[in-house]
Amino acid sequence: MNFLKNVRILSGNALKIIAAICMVIDHVGFIFFPQMMWLRIIGRIAMPIFAFTLAEGCRYTKNKVKHFCLLFGLGAICQVVYYVFAKDTYLNILLTFSLATLVLYAMRHFKKCLFDENTPSTETVFFGLVFIATIFGTYLICQNFTVDYGFWGCMLPAFAGIFDFHRIPAPAELKKIDILPVRVCSFAVGIWAFCAFTVTPMPTAYMFLALPFLFLYNGEKGKWNMKYFFYLFYPLHLAALQGLSMIL
């Protein structure tokens, strides 16, 4: 056990910094060096790390409404900017993660009702149907709009949340499997599902390169509060790269 603690050296902030660097490399390759596929391959690491840390954020956040509104609001602003300047209706990754957040919260609430003996069965059934409806609604949105990473990209964070029983009155046997290796392995199944059912121009199997980084996660947020930095980094770095491409 001490060995595992020594190996897990990456905080949530460290994971997001690694993902942000990989994302920049990916977008530099896409905009400036499309012939250099190795840049795009490195970029495949970014999305799974962000998806996993999103699930971790939903696991611990107390103000779920604020969390969702912040993510969706920034995604909506970015979408408006994309449409005004590029007439692009392609729904950006922040909106993908907004849908994923709804699925995660619906699943968490359903699990709370399922394992809480004081919850009426009718309420449990109701929120079970809400959870199913959230998944189905996400599917319909992805069928009718071009969503970044598609339906399985929206579902990917949910695979990390399957064995999440934090602050959920689950039996002790289930609590015991709510550990990082199990959550990462469950997430790996989500990556497999994404690779199996999603058609993209890039080889999706390179997303598995993110897993070693996730196994090094220590379960801690990190010393600094960098939440707003990572929210703003996505649109700002894209704007900077697009501006540079126009100058060059």
pLDDT value, residue 5:
60
Average pLDDT for runs of 10 along the chain of length 248: 68 96 96 94 97 96 93 92 78 96 98 96 98 98 95 98 96 96 97 93 91 96 84 89 87
Dihedral sign, Cα of residue 40, residue 233, residue 60, residue 13: positive
pLDDT value, residue 39:
96
**91 vs 146: CA distance, rounded Å:** 6
pLDDT value, residue 4:
53
Which residue stretches of the chain are H helix?
2-7, 12-31, 37-43, 46-60, 64-86, 93-115, 121-144, 150-161, 172-176, 180-197, 211-215, 227-247
End-to-end CA distance of the chain: 53
Instruction: List Cβ neighbours of 71 (8 Å cut-off, separation of 6 or more).
Output: 94, 97, 98, 101, 231
**149 vs 127: CA distance, rounded Å:** 27
Contact (Cβ atoms closer than 8 angstroms) between residue 108 and residue 161: yes
**232 vs 207: CA distance, rounded Å:** 24
* Domain extent listing, the chain: 9-18+44-247
Q: Name the packing angle between helices 121-144 and 93-115 (round to 10°).
A: 160
Contact (Cβ atoms closer than 8 angstroms) between residue 110 and residue 131: yes
Give the CA angle between residues 204, 74, 50 to the nearest 5°.
30
Neighbours of 94 (CB within 10 A): 21
